Amino acid sequence: MGFSPRVVIITSALLAGFSQLSLAQDESAAYMVTYIEVAPSATEEVAQLITDYAQAGATANGNMHFQALQRIGRSSHFALIETWADEAARDAYANSMTAIQFNESLEPLLYSPADARPHGDLATAAGSNVGSNGIFAVTHVDVTPNNTDIAVELLNTLADASRDDEGNARFDVLVQLNRRNHMTVVEAWETPADQETHYGEDHTKAFRTSLFPLSGALYDERLYRSL
């Protein structure tokens, strides 16, 4: 993506369990999806840094929701899903002293450059937090540019149907601002069993079948727990 570690980290905001999720579709909202990998030996230290930073960020002006996630099976991998009232609020926090200090502490522990991707709203709706047994899926969807409009329709249909699935707490689709043919699906489920059941639903299988010939890269789905 071409983002330096400093830029991508200071533009990340994270919160796990500090605010109720209420994301009605809002064209002015600004999103950031960030993937971070650190040295395995630094996993516990980074998890604590993120938790502390999340508590500080909860009071940031214009924040709507922060989600800090730790990958299942690869505990040194983290994903951060930020929601801000607008780009100005997001950028103000990114340049705050709190964010700069967090970045300075985190940067030496990075295993590879962090990958921060600014997003806009494509298909979001009001959601709710999940309990300690909740599971999250974050999926990067990449289609060839000429198939973008078709993919958007497919994702909207999937989101509408999936929000009615048993145990779903959140099903949002975000679009990457600099590459409109790249989208991120953010899901939250009450239990792992609910998420697995979703795989077998007719609307999920129909979506995957229709999306397959449009894809420009592997369907990259990763499972997480909330920090």
Do residues 15 and 83 make contact, with C-beta atoms less than 8 angstroms apart? Answer: no
Q: Are residues 129 and 203 in the same domain?
A: yes
Q: Are residues 145 and 102 in the same domain?
A: no
Q: Are residues 80 and 135 in the same domain?
A: no
Q: Are residues 130 and 111 in the same domain?
A: no
For residue range 20-62, list pLDDT tens digits in order. Answer: 344 444 568 999 998 999 999 999 999 999 888 777 777 899 9
For residue range 130-165, list pLDDT tens digits in order. Answer: 988 999 999 999 999 999 999 999 999 999 999 999
Q: Are residues 12 and 112 in the same domain?
A: yes
Integer Cα distance of 59 and 42 in angstroms: 27
Q: What is the pLDDT of residue 154?
A: 98
Higher pLDDT, 57 or 167: 167
For residue range 67-107, list pLDDT tens digits in order. Answer: 899 999 999 999 989 889 999 998 888 889 988 998 899 99
Q: Are residues 93 and 137 in the same domain?
A: no
Higher pLDDT, 127 or 119: 119
Q: Are residues 147 and 160 in the same domain?
A: yes
Integer Cα distance of 163 and 132 in angstroms: 20
User: Residues 197-217: what's their mean pLDDT?
Assistant: 97
Integer Cα distance of 98 and 100 in angstroms: 6
Do residues 33 and 68 make contact, with C-beta atoms less than 8 angstroms apart? Answer: no
Structure tokens at 205: 């299988």
Q: Are residues 57 and 153 in the same domain?
A: no
CATH number at residue 165: 3.30.70.100
Taking each helix axis as running N to C, give the angle between helix 202-211 and helix 148-162, from 0 to 180 degrees, rounded to the nearest 10: 170
Number of separate domains in the chain: 2
Integer Cα distance of 101 and 93 in angstroms: 12
Q: Count H helices, E strands: the chain?
A: 7, 8
3-class state of residue 33 by DSSP: strand
Q: How many CB atoms lie within 10 A of CB 176?
A: 21
Structural domain for 37, as ranges: 5-120
Q: What is the pLDDT of residue 18?
A: 36
Q: Taking Cα atoms as reference points, which of 133, 140, 126 lies closest to residue 64?
A: 126
- Which of these three, 78, 105, 120, is where a domain ends? 120
The answer on pLDDT for 129 being more than 50 is yes
Q: What is the pLDDT of residue 146?
A: 97
Q: Are residues 88 and 142 in the same domain?
A: no
Where does 58-115 have alpha helices with state H?
87-94, 97-106
Q: What is the pLDDT of residue 27?
A: 65
The answer on pLDDT for 5 being more than 70 is no
Please indicate, yes or no, whether the overall pTM of this predicted structure exceeds 0.75.
Answer: yes
Q: Are residues 9 and 115 in the same domain?
A: yes
Q: What is the pLDDT of residue 8?
A: 40
- Which of these three, 72, 88, 120, is where a domain ends? 120
- Which of these three, 120, 142, 174, is where a domain ends? 120
The answer on pLDDT for 19 being more than 70 is no
Q: Are residues 10 and 114 in the same domain?
A: yes
Q: Are residues 108 and 141 in the same domain?
A: no
